[in-house]
Amino acid sequence: MTDKDQIISSIHRHYSKKEDFILLESQMKNHPSSTVSFIAAGSKTSIRAYGNKIHLLENGSVAELEKNPWEAFQDFRTKYPMEWMFGFLGYDLKNSIEDLVSENPASLEAPDLYFFIPELVVKISDDRVEVIKGELSKDLPMTEIEGEISIISTHQLEKEKYLEKIITAQNSIREGDFYEINISHPLEFKLTGQAWDLYKKMKAVGPVPFGSYIKFNGLEICSASPERFLSKKGNKIISQPIKGTVSRSEEEDSLKIEELSNSEKERAENLMIVDLVRHDLSKIAKEGSVKVSKLFEIQSFETVHQMVSTIEAEAKAATDPIKILKACFPMGSMTGAPKIAAMKAIEEIEDYRRGVYSGAIGYFTPENDFDFSVVIRTALIKSNKLVYPVGGAITADSIPGQEWEETLLKAKALTNISD
């Protein structure tokens, strides 16, 4: 265990008893997307949205109101403009942006939106710990017992049903409804052990630039996301969609990189999402400022290489940060293109409400900067029920059997870490 790991574990053990706790951890030193890590804990002020039903907690007092969740969140941010805020945006907030619905049942109940103003904020880099809000306890435990976990499958989608969904999507593509769609399904498990130990094991087997652990109101989220949704620093906006993956190989790693880099199929899928993100950013950007600074860059992770593109823009002066997020939400790599048509089809093809999955996890600074990751490769846990959605992009050229095998491979990222 490194000094950084020890510090994070000690703070978690002491502060995770509080109602609101979040760790945003950059787990890969020197990775192109690496950044700093944050822990935020404790809160008397927060917002949750369940559709248009808004729950506000302010200094211990609870209020409920009916309002568009984006408008309620903007009001909340406007009321507390100089505060750190941490939380997530659920995929189904799409319904409050476009004329869309989510009528499928949820695999696990969670708010569509959740943010809190923490009492404690700790900023952690590889060689420094900085308390930037509140005061860190002097009684942090210096040892932590490693807990064992087990994961037992309780629900899997049948192969034939998944193949039918892919064929349905491809028929719509050939009819011209859209040209790429991301189809997913939820795997369900019984978790024995602690979600925090699951998070640590996910990190050990596959470190990522955007790891996150969230605990509140009986819900825990363990995310191993490699993908940045959107970041803002000053007026500079960056999005880094991922489309294109190949497994690593000790013997032929350089050939694997070349294979991915030269794949016409992966380039075509990546470019579709790049164009979608460029379009989304143009809604809030200064004219002529949207540019693709890196196209088809190959980034390497523990077990895979991935194709990442970087799109940058300069936001119009005084543009509200929540309006920037709303203009680009949800991430195009999780929907397909065109985005609205793909989201309508997702609702018809999939059997579950995505909820937190495909949304975004991140934070706002007092300067109104932000950084959000895409909710992918993420386990959601409540009362020992664990839900882990998996999926992939479908195009006219996709081979259904291969897409099914890819979802099984993605599931192993979770099941292989069980003791």
Quick: pLDDT tens for 147-172: 889 999 998 889 999 999 999 999 99
Question: How many whole angstroms separate alpha carbon 167 and alpha carbon 74?
Answer: 40
Q: Where are the alpha helices (DSSP H) in 136-194?
A: 159-174
Mind listing the pLDDT tens digit for each residue in 194-218? 999 999 999 999 999 999 999 999 9
Residue 410 backbone dihedrals phi, psi, to 5 degrees: -65, -35
Question: How many whole angstroms separate alpha carbon 413 and alpha carbon 151?
Answer: 12
User: Does position 142 have pLDDT exceeding 90, yes or no?
Assistant: no
Mind listing the pLDDT tens digit for each residue in 282-311? 999 999 999 999 999 999 998 889 999 999
Are 332 and 280 within 8 A, CB to CB? yes
At residue 247, the pLDDT reads 85
At residue 413, the pLDDT reads 80
Rounded to an integer, the average pLDDT of 393-405 is 93
Mind listing the pLDDT tens digit for each residue in 361-377? 999 999 999 999 999 99
Between these two residues, 59 and 419, which has the higher pLDDT value? 59
Structure tokens at 207: 């470190």
Average pLDDT, the chain: 94
Are 309 and 257 within 8 A, CB to CB? no
Based on its alpha-carbon atoms, the radius of gyration of the chain, rounded to whole angstroms, reads 20
pLDDT band at 2, cuts 50/70/90?
A: low
Question: How many whole angstroms separate alpha carbon 407 and alpha carbon 409?
Answer: 5
pLDDT band at 1, cuts 50/70/90?
A: low
At residue 117, the pLDDT reads 98
At residue 338, the pLDDT reads 96
| 352 three-state secondary structure | coil
Mind listing the pLDDT tens digit for each residue in 237-276? 999 999 998 888 888 899 999 999 999 989 999 999 999 9
Query: What DSSP designation does 316 have?
Result: P
Are 119 and 134 within 8 A, CB to CB? yes
Between these two residues, 143 and 289, which has the higher pLDDT value? 289
Residue 151, CA distances (Å) to 22, 160, 392 in order: 23, 24, 23
At residue 127, the pLDDT reads 78
User: Does position 419 have pLDDT exceeding 60, yes or no?
Assistant: no
Mind listing the pLDDT tens digit for each residue in 57-105? 998 899 999 999 999 999 999 999 999 999 999 999 999 999 999 999 9
- Looking up tokens 């509200």 gives 320
Question: How many whole angstroms separate alpha carbon 132 and alpha carbon 86?
Answer: 14
Between these two residues, 408 and 118, which has the higher pLDDT value? 118
pLDDT band at 135, cuts 50/70/90?
A: very high
In order of start, what are the domains of the chain with their CATH numbers?
Answer: 3-415 (3.60.120.10)
Q: What percent of the chain has pLDDT over 90?
A: 81
Mind listing the pLDDT tens digit for each residue in 12-70? 998 988 789 999 999 988 888 888 999 999 999 999 999 999 999 998 899 999 999 99
pLDDT band at 416, cuts 50/70/90?
A: confident
Question: How many whole angstroms separate alpha carbon 154 and alpha carbon 294?
Answer: 42
User: Does position 145 have pLDDT exceeding 60, yes or no?
Assistant: yes
**Hey, which residues does 372 pair with through a beta bridge?**
230, 362
At residue 260, the pLDDT reads 96
Are 378 and 115 within 8 A, CB to CB? no
Are 391 and 187 within 8 A, CB to CB? no
Question: How many whole angstroms separate alpha carbon 388 and alpha carbon 156?
Answer: 10
Structure tokens at 79: 């009321």
